[in-house]
Structure 1
Amino acid sequence: MNTLDLHAEEFRQQGFTVFRSVLPPDQVKLMRNLAEGRYRACVADPPDRDTLRGGVSLMRAFEFGTAFRDVLALEPVIQVVEALLGDDCHVISQNVLRTPTGRGIVNWHIDDALFFPFFADLNIDPKHVPVYSLNVMIALSDVPTDAFGPTQVAPGSHLSGRRPERSPDLPAGWEPVSLRAQTGDCYLVNSQTWHRGAQNETGRTRYVLTTAYGRRFISQRFYPFINYTMPPHVLSGAGSRIERLLGAHDKGPYG
């Protein structure tokens, strides 16, 4: 089994997998600076505030510059994404989470609907479970300890047939794993895996780029949704793979 197959297998078994050093430091610094500039523009200029959600999430990062757009097809990560979701998958969203001191997405949750509620009563072989959506999260700042507010996951929870209570605490019997990272590290997390962003208890802002991918039938979530128009500069020079990831699909069963 090659390395990419091992990542896919670990993802199916645990609900997440980790890649180390997928982006070089200079690219990480560029993306962090672009995100910070966008954040400051959103705070200063009310028309830009639709890009900022909850004071933490900068939406549609692919609009900020080609550094974010091109990472949509980052190798070798995209190979594992397409192996899990199909070669007609697409991007659901791309956000930069900017977490200052004292903030975090501290309640345990899954993303979107609970896809497999009947799993609670079945003995499931993970290799037979389809993956409908997942997050690719790239650390844009170092997260060496829990004090920096790492992403935390509950291994195997994607097979539980349950969603967690929206609480900072896990139910009895479940133990969190902190995905500590250096800049440029990347982790894939199943949308059904229980996860959270622990509170940042340091004096340094934490940045993480989160790109959600889904199968073709999962809708894209580019706010303001039905009224969203992709700026021309996003697709300029993008290439066919990135165009497809951004939604330029061939005709299918519904149109």
Structure 2
Amino acid sequence: MSEGIVGKFNRQGFVVLRSLIPSDDAQRLAELVERRHRDPETHKAADSDFVRGNVGLMRMFEYHQAFRDLLVVEPVISLVEQILGSDCHVVAQNALRTPNGSGIVNWHIDDALFFPFLADAPAPFALSTALPCYSLNVMVVLSDVDDETHGPTQVVAASHLTGKAPEYSPALPSGVFPTSLLARAGDAYLVNSQTWHRGAQNKSGRTRYLLTTTYGRRFISQRFYPFLNYVMPQHVIAGASDHLLRVLGKHQKGPYG
């Protein structure tokens, strides 16, 4: 079954997983996100990088063990390791709190464009084997996003195969159509970092909550501010399994050290 899910992910650049966690657990995580947002310490120091753009809350695994433990939740972590390799790690874990009128509305890919040569391939282009995936997002929905007004994550299917990045704007090129990932609290979806995506504007009267964990292959650097001087807090490491420690970044020695 996992091979079918991975195959679908490779073909369309995303895949939806229903009921990854119970809805009650999702609600509890949403409450924790809201609590962190309302904590004055979160907003106190601009250089602490706990919050970005008044929508993103950074490094949630530092805030509460419930977020840390989701880094290795099944069946997601097995799917991630099947796609990225058994030595992959977490690149970032951020919560998105999107009230009415907000959203990450510009279309984008995450990080660099990995395969620009695909843009010059003859159309229609078909791969005999799956294109390598170097990083992906696991997005766990923490509040119901069951119609377009709630600001769903939107993707363009198979856009990871185009060798192009979208214009950083709310508009798509003519003839390109998005897929809205409508979901219930506790659902999740995996999105290739090269897949065109955005968070549509929340036009409803309720706040949208989403937890986004980015995983990368071993050679993709982790993005924990302040980068050079980042030290994993001891409370994050305490009680962690060997598997979780590896996902957090405790690797064996390799070719470069």
TM-score range, shorter chain: over 0.9
> Distance between the aligned counterparts of 1:138 and 1:42, measured in 2?
26
CA distance in 2, matches of 1:64, 1:87: 26
Q: What is the distance in 2 between the residues matched to 1:126 and 1:22?
A: 31
Q: How big is the alpha-carbon RMSD for the aligned residues of Structure 1 and Structure 2? A: 1.3
**Which residue identity does 2:180 align to in structure 1?**
S
Distance 1:42 1:6 in 2: 45
Alignment: residue pair count? 253
Q: How does 1:59-78 map to 2 (within 5 A)?
A: 59-78=58-77
Question: 1:111: which partner in 2?
Answer: 110
For the residue of structure 1 that corresponds to 2:39, the secondary structure is helix
1:88-107 to 2 correspondence within 5 Å?
88-107=87-106
Write the distance in 2 (CA, Å) between the matches of 1:100 and 1:187: 21
Q: Deviations over 1:113-144 (max 9, x none)?
A: 00000001223417331100000000000001
Deviates more, 1:43-52 or 1:59-68: 43-52
| Superimposed CA distance per residue, residues 173-193 of structure 1 (whole angstroms, 9 cap, x where no aligned partner) | 211000000000000000000
The one-character-per-residue Cα deviations of 1:84-112 (angstroms, maximum 9, x if unpaired) are 00000000000000001100000100000
The amino acid that maps onto 1:60 is R
Identity of aligned residues (%): 58
Q: Which residues of 2 match residues 119-130 of structure 1 at below 5 A?
A: 119-122=118-121, 123-125=125-127, 127-130=129-132
Shift of 1:66: 1.2
> What is the CA distance between 1:229 and its match in structure 2?
1.2
The verdict on how the C-alpha distance between 1:146 and 1:41 changes in structure 2, with shifts beyond 3 A counting, is: same
Instruction: Report the equivalent of 1:22.
Output: 20
**Structure 2 partner of 1:209:** 211
TM-score (norm 1): 0.96
Aligned with 2:244 (options 231, 242, 246): 242
Please name the residue that 2:44 is paired with.
46
Instruction: Kindly state the Cα deviation for residue 228 of structure 1 after the two structures are TM-superposed.
Output: 1.2
The 8 Å contact of residues 32 and 140 in structure 1, kept in 2 or not, is answered as: yes
Map 1:107-186 to 2 at 5 A: 107-122=106-121, 123-125=125-127, 127-186=129-188
Residue 191 of structure 2 corresponds to which residue in structure 1?
189
**Alignment partners' CA distance in 2, 1:124 and 1:7:** 19
* Runs of 4 or more consecutive aligned structure 1 residues displaced over 2 Å after TM superposition: 42-45, 47-50
Looking at structure 2, the residues matched to 42 and 82 of structure 1 have their Cα atoms a distance apart, in angstroms, of: 37
Q: Displacement of 1:29 after TM fit?
A: 1.9
Post-superposition Cα deviations, 1:35-78, rounded to whole Å, max 9, x if no partner, equal 11111114775138620011000000001111100110110111
Correspondence for 1:6: 4
Asked whether the 8 Å contact 1:98–1:205 carries over to 2, the reply is yes
Report if aligned partners of 2:43, 2:51 keep a CA contact under 8 Å in 1. Answer: no
Q: CA deviation at 1:224?
A: 1.3
Contact 2:107 2:197 in 1 (8 A): yes
Secondary structure in 1 aligned to 2:209? Answer: strand
Q: Using the alignment, how far apart are the partners of 1:43 and 1:142 within structure 2? A: 28
Instruction: Report the residue type matching 1:12 in the other structure.
Output: N
* C-alpha contact (below 8 Å) 1:89/1:213 kept by paired residues: yes
Task: Give the Cα–Cα distance (whole angstroms) in 1 for the partners of residues 62 and 228 of structure 2.
Answer: 17
- SS of 1:168's partner is coil
CA distance in 2 between counterparts of 1:211 and 1:46 reads 24
Matched to 1:147, the amino acid is T
2:35 — aligned with what?
Answer: 37
Q: 1:228 aligns with which of 218, 227, 230?
A: 230
